[in-house]
Amino acid sequence: MATSLKTPADIHTKIPKFIFSISLENYHKLIAESVPGVTFIFILEAIGGMLLFAFFSIAGRNRGREVAPTGKHRDQEDPPTGTHRDGEGMPIWTRHIGLVWNGIFVVTCLYSFLSLPPLQSRLQTDVRFHFLTLIVCTVATYLLIFPASLSALRKRGMRLSAPQDAKRQRLAFAGPTIFATIAVCVALANGGSKYFYQLLNSIIIGGGSTILAVGLGTLSAYAFSRFNIAGKDDLLFFILSTRMLPPVVVVIPIYLMYSALGLRDTHFGLILLYTTFNVSFAVWLMKGFIDEIPKEYEDAALVDGYTRFQTFLKVVLPQSVTGMAATAVFCLITAWNEFAFALVLTEVGGRAVTAPPSITSATGSTGMDWGKIAAMTFVFLLPVAIFTFLMRRHLLRGVTFGAVKK
């Protein structure tokens, strides 16, 4: 082809366009003609949250280098007014910045809910109410990161170390960043983008089923690991057998059952189905982690007066976080990439259709639009890739648990 270029005009007719221009054209096909203005606000908040997260990560690392091995500062002087520190951590005003940043995101979500018009579609639900869900998730996440302004810790004589305090500061910006990314999908879906509506369905169904599968799997694994249950081995084998059949084999009976119960093309139906298939994997994986936790820790807590449930929450659960994170990665990947049930149990352009079936149906005027399919695939890959990257430290132990230790 290079030898056939005889005139300058051949450069524009025989050589494809620059790859970046092709990418922009393909991604533009995924967005509706009318893009709500709040979409750009959420994009700026997501980028700003990432920058703040990176800034305080670097600041926390540098702060850790300035602390002497004894936990005291090199200057051995009290910090000046306005830079009070909690437990040798980062300056307390960084927590105030995190509170303001969370507040800005909450106000933006509330403004988006009140200003955006309802979605004009009979087959799709009104996604504006997801802004209210994001507000609740943001507030709950912040309260989990900073419980009671640390006053309860001071009363108990407890102080946060510098790494713990710096980690909490960073998490205050990570939450709004993740939720702002989801809000971009909500805004674009409200603007008429069918693909981002389907991607939002994948986030809701995949995230909801992962949370339920990990939660139920952890409780079941604790029971199998700590209690003498009659027929324990048989029950564990029965739970594992639910994953032995491929989805194609059972999709017709499930379709008939869902049609009779009215669960076809609903978010709850797919969440329930994905949870059923993932909970067996979660039980077996979490049982391996809980078996590694010494029972003596629980016995000491029971002697101190804790109930069995309190022992599970305060002793077992904190030590199982690594296993839960690794299990969540595998469960999310399974639910995120599921195709057979999502294709059969949803309608074309329906309320609960996810992204995988829509990718295979992308057609253009001349047949399959491969450029659009490539753009849809890349956007579909990003959320689960980012989640897996964030959990990479826990993932290694998740695939090597039970190995021989020296």
| Model pLDDT for residues 331-375, shown as the tens digit of each residue | 999 999 988 899 899 887 788 889 988 887 776 556 677 778 888
* Dihedrals phi, psi of 222, to nearest 5 degrees: -65, -40
SS3 of residue 67 by DSSP = strand
Give the domain ranges of the chain. Answer: 35-192, 194-406
Instruction: Indicate the helix (H) or strand (E) that contains 367.
Output: strand 367-368
Alpha-carbon span 41 to 46, nearest angstrom: 9
- The CATH homologous superfamily to which domain 194-406 belongs is MetI-like (1.10.3720.10)
For residue 273, what are the β-bridge partners?
none
The pTM of the full predicted model, rounded to 2 decimals, is 0.78
Best CA proximity match to 30, nearest among 375, 365, 273? 375
Write out pLDDT tens, residues 265-287: 899 999 999 999 899 999 998 99
CA atoms of 184 and 203, how far apart (whole Å): 12
pLDDT at 254: 92
Bridge partners (DSSP) listed for residue 368: 363
**Pairwise pLDDT comparison (183 vs 171), residue with the higher score:** 183
- The answer to whether 200 and 186 have CB atoms below 8 angstroms apart is yes
**Residue 34, helix vs strand vs coil:** coil
Within 13 Å and on the Cβ side, how many CA atoms surround 87?
Answer: 18
Beta bridge partners of 364: 367
Neighbours of 401 (CB within 10 A): 16
Angle at 232 between CA 286 and CA 280, to 5 degrees: 40
| pLDDT attached to residue 167 | 65
pLDDT digits (tens, 9 = 90+) for 62-96: 655 554 444 444 444 444 444 444 444 455 667 77
Q: Which residue has the higher pLDDT, 377 or 89?
A: 377
**φ/ψ of residue 367, rounded to 5:** 115, -140
The DSSP output letter for 84 is -
Rounded Cα–Cα distance for residues 360 and 240 (Å):
31
Distance CA 3, CA 24 (A): 29
